Chain A
Amino acid sequence: MRSLSTVLLFLFVVALTTFSIIVVWPSTPSRYLPGDFWPSGRGIKIGDWERETMRLGLDLRGGAYLVLEADPPPDYQGDLDQALESAKQVVERRVNAFGVSEAEITRASGNRLSVQVPGISLTEAQNLIGKTAALEFMVYDDQYNLVPATGVVNGQTLQMTGAYLKNNTYPSRLGTTFAVNFETTGVGAQLMEQITTRALQYPPGDPRRLLVVRLDGQVLSEAEVQAVIRDAGQITGQPTFSAANTLSKQLNSGALPIPLRTVQASEVSATLGEDSVLASVKAGLVGMAAVMIFMVLYYRLPGVLAAAALVVYTSVVLMIFKLVPVTLTLSGIAAFVLSVGMAVDANVLIFERLKEELRRGRTLNAAIDIGFRRAWLSIRDSNVSTLITCVILYWFGDQFGAALVKGFALTLAIGVLVSMFSAITVTRTFLKMVLGTPMAKSAFLFNASERPVQERPRRRMAEAAGE
């Protein structure tokens, strides 16, 4: 008899599935599904929230992957760890300046940086990261063009750059804004003196009185010169402390603080990725259909319920992938397939138990409860062991920046967790919804009528007593 909680759970599952399908639904379904009557487009927009597309890994959308290792000269004195941290920021800034979205730059073990840039080729990525970057001081010339700020030292014309700043800049408050304080080196002091003296010839408000600081071609600050600067100065006009702090760090790091060597690199063309996505989605749909048909043929009514549970399972997992978001890779897809197998396994375990209990002559209600209770231990132990493997895999993938292995572990772990929910809650609720309908009484629908159940061996008490 359906209890209120069953009905509520059922409604929850239906709502969750509807939500998941809406989230998961592709923008261009005709690419994956036959026919062209499917709703397409991004569709839903609630406030700022718009349906995202699935985040795909480099192997599915094309792009470049690089592992860069710090390659310090033999006499390197500085703090390698800090140098690498600022190198990471330098690389990040350069990649972002290029307008690449979703680039991932992370520290990896062994003084390495792992760089993933979707959508561009390896050569492009290397040009992007390897191009010379520098902090430059600029001024406006008489035609109001931005030109390098130069000075003459020992008869040589030099541009004022980050190379002539000491690496001890620090941020500070300046009224309502923030500033970065710097000290110049010996040559820098002479350059700055000449540059600022020249700027002070012009009246306030004249662009030629401005001193512009650029990093990698991006203007960092633009400020009017107030006095002659020699040994120390300030870059003003930073809106927040953190902006000033970042700038200070950037100034202290300047260009790439240490040479980086490419130790691992790979590239996937966008077309190859596209092919893989289409093939995988198609294969996934066919595979799922095959599994559903098998379940229905073998388990009959519970099989139908399991097929429905599989739809719930798949949509919820994909929904989580989209919302977290999990970067989906080819190995992740393989993990997903495996997790579908494990999700179905949980159902198979339960149904086999259910059948046994039904054949022992229990009512459906009792059989469901006992079947679930007995199957739970197996489901728990087998899934926990899989989760343990996932954790180890994730750690392993993290250690040497193998996105492939990491993605696999994360995908499988999510799949396993949802499969436990699916098996315990979803299938059980579906089964309980059947209770009380005429279907519940049919042994045929539960495939529970053919053979008598095999009883377990027990020590024959009479025999034992007779001995």
Chain B
Amino acid sequence: MLDFAGKRWWYLGFSGVFFAAALAALAIWGLKPGIEFTSGSTFTVQFLERPVSQAELRQAMRELGHPEARVQASGENTYIVRTSELENAPSLTSGAGPVPPGEIDDIERGLQERFGALQRKDFATVSGSVSAEIARYATLAVLAAAVAILVYIWLAFRQLPKPWRYGACAVFALVHDAVIVMGLFAVLGEFRGVEVDTAFITAILTVIGFSVHDTIVVFDRIREVVTQDPYVPFEEAVNASLTETLARSINTSLVVVLTIVAMLLIGGETIRNFLLVLLVGIVAGTYSSIGVASQVLVAWENRDLARFWRKIRGQGELAAAEAA
């Protein structure tokens, strides 16, 4: 049997480093909000006639009245351009007349004049009133998911003493994974211009789903061991459970990782960042079941924190006594 619980501070410390790094990345660079969160427009364009450099395109956008445009390379002679909200769509009224051309069409024409034939691959625009709502619902969804999971685990583990602790630890691990994934997004945003969009929300929720899935399998084993013989010391029960589920944990995430890597290598450009985030999230989710959720559970059971405080306070009192 491997001694996981005895080395819990190593495990927690290890993930603590990543957790802190993710928090630091979030604090320093922050998330780069996509148009879903700030409003704006984005389009992908591929130049068919001649190679166009990023600087040329940026210059052209400036001339077309969009100095704020951000240009980002995405594949072969293809760029993603992000601008403030384009007047793409005038109000559709009951009044007469055809719909006047949107600003995007003007831009497309302008680029065509400069660089020759091109293909607009996609275009999206979100106005301010919608973006605030999306951000609100995204936060709500994550909170609702966390609460629902907490309650479900609480119920599923109700025959154990202090069942809500299991739920709380699973949610703790979930937050851990979500923060690491968000930190990765902050890093990608800084260095590769990746923005936080609906794909980001989907990625976070997928990771949360996997994280909880994985944690529950481990907790389930703890439940089984504890129910089988309630007198086994909790640390040993956790160790036994983790040892028994280790092969399964690794194999399962290996399987998911295999499929994701296959999609990363062959799959389309469009979901590459999404898959990269999933990959990291899955690994974090697997680790956190063993190294975070279970270890926090043991630490809680052993009142580690209280002991820790006592120790510090005790030393403080000792020092005070010595000084006196």
Residues of A within 8 A of B (CB): 59, 66-69, 71, 109-110, 122-123, 126-127, 129-133, 254-269, 271-272, 275-276, 279-280, 282-284, 286-288, 290-291, 294-295, 298, 330-331, 334-335, 337-338, 340-342, 344-345, 348-349, 352, 356, 374, 377-378, 381-386, 388-390, 392-393, 395-396, 399-400, 402, 404-405, 408, 412, 454, 456-459
- Distance in Å: Cβ of A127 to nearest Cβ of chain B: 5
SS of A interface (majority): helix
Residues of B within 8 A of A (CB): 1, 44, 88-99, 101-102, 104-105, 119-127, 129-130, 133-134, 137-138, 140-141, 144-145, 148-149, 152-153, 156, 198-199, 201-202, 205-206, 208-210, 212-214, 216-217, 220-221, 223-225, 228-229, 231-233, 236-237, 239-240, 243-245, 247-248, 251-256, 258-263, 265-268, 270-271, 274-275, 278
Known: A334-B275, A396-B140. A386 touches B225 (CB 8 A): no
Q: Are A404 and B152 in contact, CB atoms less than 8 angstroms apart? A: no
Q: Are A348 and B252 in contact, CB atoms less than 8 angstroms apart? A: yes
CB neighbours of B96 from chain A (8 A)? 132
CB neighbours of B98 from chain A (8 A)? 127, 130-131
- Distance in Å: Cβ of B130 to nearest Cβ of chain A: 5
Number of A-B contacts (CB under 8 A): 285
Query: Of A126, A275, A282, A382, which one neighbours B213 at CB under 8 angstroms?
Result: A382
CB neighbours of A390 from chain B (8 A)? 209
Q: Are A265 and B123 in contact, CB atoms less than 8 angstroms apart? A: yes
Q: Are A389 and B212 in contact, CB atoms less than 8 angstroms apart? A: yes
Query: Of B91, B156, B255, B268, which one neighbours A260 at CB under 8 angstroms?
Result: B91
CB neighbours of A349 from chain B (8 A)? 217, 248
Q: Are A280 and B263 in contact, CB atoms less than 8 angstroms apart? A: yes
8 A-B pairs, CB-CB below 8 angstroms? A133-B94, A254-B94, A259-B91, A263-B129, A264-B127, A337-B256, A396-B137, A457-B236
The 8 closest A-B pairs by CB, nearest first: A262-B89, A341-B256, A266-B124, A287-B262, A287-B259, A396-B141, A130-B99, A283-B266
SS of B interface (majority): helix
Q: Are B145 and A388 in contact, CB atoms less than 8 angstroms apart? A: yes
Known: A129-B92, A255-B94, A456-B228. A377 touches B260 (CB 8 A): no
Q: Are A69 and B275 in contact, CB atoms less than 8 angstroms apart? A: no
Q: Are B270 and A131 in contact, CB atoms less than 8 angstroms apart? A: no
A66 to B247, CA, bound (A): 48
A265 to B90, CA, bound (A): 12
Q: Are B216 and A396 in contact, CB atoms less than 8 angstroms apart? A: no
- Distance in Å: Cβ of B80 to nearest Cβ of chain A: 12
Q: What 6 new A-B contacts, CB under 8 Å, besides A266-B123, A382-B216?
A: A262-B89, A276-B270, A340-B256, A383-B213, A385-B213, A405-B202
Q: Are A283 and B137 in contact, CB atoms less than 8 angstroms apart? A: no
Known: A264-B127, A385-B153. A337 touches B259 (CB 8 A): yes
Known: A388-B149, A389-B205, A457-B232. A348 touches B255 (CB 8 A): yes
Chain A minimum-CB-distance residue to B144: A392
Q: Are A381 and B92 in contact, CB atoms less than 8 angstroms apart? A: no
Query: Of B134, B225, B233, which one neighbours A456 at CB under 8 angstroms?
Result: B225
Q: Are B121 and A404 in contact, CB atoms less than 8 angstroms apart? A: no
- Distance in Å: Cβ of B67 to nearest Cβ of chain A: 23
Q: Are B240 and A456 in contact, CB atoms less than 8 angstroms apart? A: yes
Q: Are B259 and A392 in contact, CB atoms less than 8 angstroms apart? A: no
A348 to B266, CA, bound (A): 26
Q: Which of B101, B141, B236, B278 neighbours the largest number of chain A CB atoms within 10 Å of its CB?
A: B141
